[in-house]
Amino acid sequence: MKQFPKNFLWGAATSAPQSEGAALIDGKSATTWDKWFEMEPERFNSNQGPQVTSDVYHQYKDEVKRMKAINMNSYRTSISWARLLPDGKNLNEKAVKFYRDYFTELKENGVEPIINLFHFDMPWWLMERGGWEVREAVEAFAFYAKTAFEQFGDIVKKWSTFNEPMVHIECGYLGDAHYPRKNDFKLAVQVGYHTLMAHTRAVEEFRKLAIKNGEIGIILNVSPAYARSESKEDVEAKECADSLYIFSFLDPVALGKFPEKLVSLLKENNLLPQMEERDKQLIAENTVDFLGMNYYQPFRVKAPVQTHTPAIRPNDFFSGYDMPGKRMNEYRGWEIYPEALYDVAMMMKNKYHNIPWYVSENGMGVAEEERFADENGEIQDDYRIDFMKEHLEQLHKGIQDGSNCFGYHTWTFADCWSWLNGYRNRYGFYRVDIENDCKRTIKKSGHWYKKLIEKNGF
């Protein structure tokens, strides 16, 4: 039996744009996702846009009952900035009521809400002004964060500022999977810097309000890089990948300073962002209370195949490496490598002074999951149970070896909408029937998770 620490947080995560629906009612203004779907629906790999998603806006009471039914004691979702402050300045009272009711419902049912402020859903009015490209966005975010803390700080005690900031940077500014689909390394660095400063200013506002028992953190995606070989070039590629994709946020938010390697890489390649005088001090003074680590898959790297001097893209520092024999999730296309979770646990302990952290997302996406339904329509997702078990074994080992991990959240509770993929990849403990008022049906993994939580181990 693998026993987890007392008061361990067991739960799942989602986000406002992927679960709430009600995209354009009750005063909410448009986000980039709403607008982009309207402008270029053909870019989305499904005809399902962000309008309805899993309808949690209307069904949250039943949703919370279902969480309680499988013993969950915590849950992460986000607030929609465009719902709370449709024009960035004026409070939407309907949004205040919705979120207060929703968060209270969670609390009253023994489900601790962990509330995040930004999950890729930039309000359209701000995107039109340049989004994270402009410094103005930093103060706009700080105001939004302060407003959220003031409105809900009496209910919500665990807050996070951003979910996976590297994703909106990478997908929006080094590729075309997020709006504004630009491809510009220098701009991507500036966008990343503004995002970090927005996070930092939000933490500063949080500290000023001194919310009783309040804690603040950030949710980062971590795909640790593993080098193809021990050659100097491959190891250097690994260090560059980790510095750009992991330590670029982790070091400033947790240690209060940028990693030297990152600074020299950016400097040598003429990629340093524009900074303001007070920034350095702000970063040093506003480190987080806890971290959320989203882990799905590792990153296999080797020395770059082709480089430019100075660099014009991250691939000038490393190349992806297709490792022969790697285990794949054949239903989603991501590598399965649970051992990385142990490595993350040790990294938290050794490099980040054993800061409190939790697994804020881990899970297995499966396309066309209806093929695994039994004769009663219940999805027999043994593959997902095995996936969680293997990852929890590694996490358990990390905790035994002294890592300060306080919880495990899967992605996700009930199947939810995903960016360009709609409802193709399913992750939930509950299946959502989007053709039928988003009716939920429990999967086999939901029963399994319930027992796991009951025993606080498996």
Q: What residues make contact with ligand BGP under the rule CB under 6 A?
A: 15, 18, 163-164, 167, 221, 294, 361, 365, 411, 418, 421, 425
Identity of the residue, 153 or 224, whose beta carbon is nearer to ligand BGP in the bound complex: 224
| Annotation marks residue 204 as catalytic | no
Given the residues 63, 164, 205, 239, select the one marked as catalytic. 164
Residue 11 CB, nearest approach to ligand BGP (Å) = 15
Residue 347 CB, nearest approach to ligand BGP (Å) = 19
3-state secondary structure of 100: helix
Pairing of strands 299-302, 319-320: antiparallel
Identity of the residue, 266 or 414, whose beta carbon is nearer to ligand BGP in the bound complex: 414
Q: How far apart are CA 349 and CA 343, in angstroms?
A: 10
Residue entry with tokens 């890729």 = 120
Structural contact between residues 301 and 228, judged by C-beta atoms closer than 8 angstroms: yes
Identity of the residue, 161 or 163, whose beta carbon is nearer to ligand BGP in the bound complex: 163
Given the residues 20, 170, 205, 361, select the one marked as catalytic. 361
Residue 412 CB, nearest approach to ligand BGP (Å) = 7
Q: How far apart are CA 417 and CA 425, in angstroms?
A: 9
Q: Return the residue nearest ligand BGP (CB atom).
A: 418
Among 200, 167, 203, CA closest to 361: 167
Identity of the residue, 18 or 200, whose beta carbon is nearer to ligand BGP in the bound complex: 18
Identity of the residue, 119 or 300, whose beta carbon is nearer to ligand BGP in the bound complex: 119
Among 19, 155, 20, 13, CA closest to 72: 13
Q: How far apart are CA 59 and CA 155, in angstroms?
A: 20
| Annotation marks residue 375 as catalytic | no
Residue 221 CB, nearest approach to ligand BGP (Å) = 6
Residue 447 CB, nearest approach to ligand BGP (Å) = 23
For 331, 347, 426, the CA distances from 448, given in Å and listed in that order, are 21, 30, 17
Structural contact between residues 84 and 144, judged by C-beta atoms closer than 8 angstroms: yes
Structural contact between residues 364 and 309, judged by C-beta atoms closer than 8 angstroms: no
What amino acid positions are annotated as catalytic residues? 164, 361
